[in-house]
Structure 1
């Protein structure tokens, strides 16, 4: 089984790429963010540790984490972001390793792990390759404004919290340019899959 890590900045169009790899090649897709959401449900160890550090102010009326409120805190403060990451990410990686083992038992051919922090969290140790989805900043900004309705300030904070392009380039085995039309991206993906 090939395990591929896909990473890139927010607004790079990773979701569309994951859907394509799933539909076209039957890839099993695991998104680190979705794993994190499950681990942060009310009553879990991860949830308790987050509330212990950040306080009850980050809970919604149902007593669940207010993820938007938490994001506002951590994207504005690098120290708080690293605290949150140190709580959540080791648990996420542990869960993903369990998923990889499960897929290996099922004789899956291709498993894709998508996450923002694959480089920082050393996913090269558990992936055969890391792929960087590259999109020019100006295009990512437009996508985030129109598709998600984000304000410029929020986008700038998110960009500032992410690795610079050269770090992605240095640590990833392949770069997929998703700045143009998706047909061009598909051609790049098809070529890479044929090479695997």
Structure 2
């Protein structure tokens, strides 16, 4: 089984690629954000730690869950708080991922397991992934996508871009670069070629 970590800047178009992999190659796709959300539900160890950390912030819904939009605004504007949150959530996500990888390897059925994570490199997933793949898209294309699809302002987009790795860092740390600047068919052809080369 090949375990691939997929990363790239926000707005790079990773979702469509992940959907394609999940549909066409018998692949299990894990999303670090979704895992983190599950681990941040009330009653979990992560939730208790974060509730204490952010007890003075207006980030809770009436039912006791985190208001994710408010939480995101707080951590994108404050690097120290972002680092504190990451220090709680990301080790828990990584532990869960390691358990799933071990289970899939022991199962011996799946040929390809994929993890998408924004902090794939920063959290040293190269230690457990067989390969890291970088989905590259031009910065201005990403900006326009985020304005259209999410309604983000330039200020918010700049905040997000500034919080992520540079293109050089992504390229330096990943074994494969997928260019997603053009038509989706061209991108998927690159994916298919990479999988053929890896006998998947």
Instruction: State TM-score, norm by structure 2.
Output: 0.96
1:14 maps onto 2:14 in alignment: yes
How many residues get paired? 196
1:178 maps onto 2:180 in alignment: yes
Q: CA RMSD in A?
A: 0.9
Segment of structure 1 superposing worse, 60-69 or 3-12: 60-69
1:72 maps onto 2:73 in alignment: yes
2 CA distance for matches of 1:35 and 1:119?
17
Segment of structure 1 superposing worse, 49-58 or 30-39: 49-58
Q: Which 5+ residue runs of structure 1 have no aligned equivalent?
A: none
Matches for 1:3-42 after TM superposition, within 5 Å: 3-42=3-42
Question: 1:111: which partner in 2?
Answer: 113
Question: 1:82: which partner in 2?
Answer: 83
Question: 1:97: which partner in 2?
Answer: 98
SS at structure 2 position matched to 1:113: strand
* Cα displacement (A) at 1:147: 1.0
Matches for 1:111-190 after TM superposition, within 5 Å: 111-190=113-192
Whether contact under 8 Å (1:51, 1:58) holds in the other structure is no
* Cα displacement (A) at 1:105: 2.9
2 CA distance for matches of 1:34 and 1:50?
17
* Cα displacement (A) at 1:106: 2.8
Question: 2:195: which partner in 1?
Answer: 193
Instruction: State TM-score, norm by structure 1.
Output: 0.97
* Cα displacement (A) at 1:134: 0.4
2 CA distance for matches of 1:98 and 1:135?
32
Whether contact under 8 Å (1:176, 1:188) holds in the other structure is yes
